[in-house]
Chains A and B, each alone.
Chain A
């Protein structure tokens, strides 16, 4: 049994977009060890994305109706077959199904002509909030009725557990550190938490996957996620100011993205699009 294609792409896009974001620290890390840590984190995420895209590509190539749907992609081969690269490099912004929180830049909201600077607190807070979700998701997906997806889940779980530990440790250090690090960590958490509300409002593909047993019922993970998040925030002396179910809920996972994804994809995809037949 295979998971719905849009569900696999949702998981793959989450991993790829966050992996690409974190890779922006490569060569710019606040300290050498963290530069390496983020590069390793990206390597894991992009590796997970590859496995998921390959799984999606296998399904597309084996199903005439699906093949038709993706045949327009520039990177598709003459015979209409797609690869992991086609799905990563040749889909446009509105075709991506990642959560909005993955694509946000490494800083809080800006006003007017404010100059942006990467803020490591935002990077760490996001990795923490997302990893806390993904340990729960991958854990449940080990029992997916899609055997390949279950295999990917078992691999990814081990990796994301390490990411959670890394980000959680730093969040505690920042929150319980200096006045400045506390202020920045609190601002990062305040900025990102509202975007996490989208986790609990699954799109059609997530609902379909939960129903046929290939996916997880994400809404059932909310209490566990809150436990993980609240415990670490308390240890970090940080406060939760988010109020569930109020205001706008981010829609990236159903294809309505922030202005930031387009820039991220432009940078990531430009080489492959300029040289669609290149091999490396």
Chain B
């Protein structure tokens, strides 16, 4: 297989967006990890789940297969877990797109899995982070619920413009 045919596969899936957040591509979100040649010469599109139970993964796989078929390209989808997905992989441009779409992007880096020791982390709950409102920019916001409309989001409310909004959890 040539470099060109791998590139064609990469190009065919580059425009695909996350089914839940249609303004951001799979690549920008960090779900689309790489396009490589499989052991048998068939191109492989490697994706990684955000959350273990993310219900969008099946849809994403179907979308990729459909895009390849539409372009008349061979290829299959491979799911890879390690290293685990983190919001740190989200580009600044992607975060800005999220904000413009009405979802507050993750504010700080994800907590490293076990740098300071999991015990230390678990004993001291993370300090509430300052999440600016994606509508009016106010920092005067509060968390309504730690779990929101999807596994990757929490629910916040702006105390100035009074709009509720989704917050993409740092993870």
Report if B2 contacts A (CB, 8 A). Answer: no
Q: Tell me whether A50 and B53 are in contact (CB under 8 A).
A: yes
In the complex, which range does the number of interface residues on chain B fall in?
A: 20 to 34
Instruction: Report the minimum CB–CB distance from A146 to chain B (whole Å).
Output: 11
Cβ proximity bits A14-57 to B, threshold 8 Å, 1 near / 0 not:
00000000000000000001001101111111111011000000
B52 near A51 (CB under 8 angstroms)? yes
Chain A contributes a number of interface residues (CB within 8 A of B) equal to 42
The 6 A-B pairs at the shortest CB distance, nearest first, are namely A47-B53, A47-B52, A151-B82, A151-B81, A33-B145, A43-B53
Best-surrounded residue of A139, A150, A166 (most CB of chain B within 10 A): A139
Q: Are A51 and B81 in contact (CB under 8 A)?
A: yes
User: Once the chains bind, are B122 and A132 in contact (CB under 8 Å)?
Assistant: yes
Whether a CB of chain A sits under 8 angstroms from the CB of B121 is yes
Q: Is the CB of A228 within 8 A of B119?
A: yes
Which residue in A136, A155, A168 is a CB contact (below 8 Å) of B118? A136
Q: Does A159 contact B (CB under 8 A)?
A: yes
B39 interface contact, C-beta 8 A:
no
CA distance A161 to B145 in the complex (A): 16
| B residues in contact with A157, CB < 8 Å | 113-114, 118
Q: In the assembled complex, how far is the CB of residue A173 from the closest CB belonging to chain B, in whole angstroms?
A: 13
Specify which chain B residues have a CB less than 8 angstroms from the CB of A63 in the assembled complex: none
Find out whether the CB atom of B84 lies under 8 angstroms from the CB atom of A158. Answer: yes
Q: Is B30 in the interface zone, CB < 8 Å from A?
A: no
Nearest Cβ on chain B to A142's Cβ, whole angstroms: 6
Also in contact, A142 and B52, with CB within 8 A (given A36-B148, A158-B171, A228-B122): no
Partner of A154, one of B82, B144, B169: B82
- Whether B49 contacts A162 by the Cβ 8 Å rule is no
